[in-house]
Amino acid sequence: MTITPPAGTIDIAGKTVSRLGFGTMRLTGPGTWGDPADRERARQVLREAVHTHGITHIDTADAYGPQIAEHLIQDALHPYPDELLLATKVGMVRPAPNEWVPLGNPAYLRACVEASLRRLDVERLDLCYLHRIDRHVPLADQIGTLAALQDEGKIGHIGLSKVSPEDFQHASKYAPIAAVQNVLNISEPDDPMVDMCRDQNIPYIPYRPLNAGKIASNGGARAALAWLLNLGPHVAPIPGTSSPDHLAELVASTKDR
């Protein structure tokens, strides 16, 4: 049975996927650290996102848990449907709960990609973001490492996360950038990368689209997601939740578009 994708479709990293994606950060423990309280519930959310609601864009990162979210995805969804896009991110060290430290050392980035390939049980990462630019390492080395892995067939497309137009232009000197993922929501509504991505004809992926749940109550999710989707067909939000019921509500809030 074919499931109508939430909010239509968008082309990301060479695949036509649901415009409403799913972010996996909230499937881990408090502080994005350790296992979820209920692993089966976390797996259920992932299965329902894909098999019940037709979401075909799953966003994750090796830093979520760390490593936990990627393991959950493999456990819940492998073997993956052909239409599913798995996007992950590398380049962040997690010393403790709620602590995030960029690390763009080329050897570390390469090790991260190799480990994500094993955890997700794939031969190639469809879309791999540089999770954060490490300002202590030349950007040419960071993007160059991902580009080398792309040449080796281990990465399909390269993305950037939390970047400015200047960062984007600099990174684009070393490899084509397939997508940008930045914070954007009604409470944090200004990001010049929305227009730049439109001009560059690449997807803009708003993370924290519900401001970590602060604007999700009392019907706020519908208005918040509608605002994002109305910014243009290149905008593809990735709300996250650990609740199957909340997931169903998020999907339903986009169905009348």
Strand-pairing partners, residue 125, are 155
Conformation bin of residue 74: beta by default, left when phi > 0, alpha when psi is -120 to 50: alpha
Catalytic residue among 64, 174, 204, 207: 64
DSSP H or E segment with residue 247: helix 244-252
State yes or no: is 64 an active-site residue: yes
Angle at 245 between CA 216 and CA 180, to 5 degrees: 55
Q: Is the peptide bond before 66 cis (omega within 30 degrees of 0)?
A: yes
The three-state DSSP-derived secondary structure of 20-47 is CCEECHHHCCCCCECCCCCHHHHHHHHH
Q: Measure the CA–CA gap between 157 and 135, rounded to whole angstroms.
A: 22
Q: Supply the angle between the helices 39-47 and 68-77 in degrees, to the nearest 10.
A: 60
Distance CA 239, CA 121 (A): 24
Q: Roughly how many angstroms between the first and final C-alpha of the chain, as a whole number?
A: 22
Q: Which residues are catalytic?
A: 64
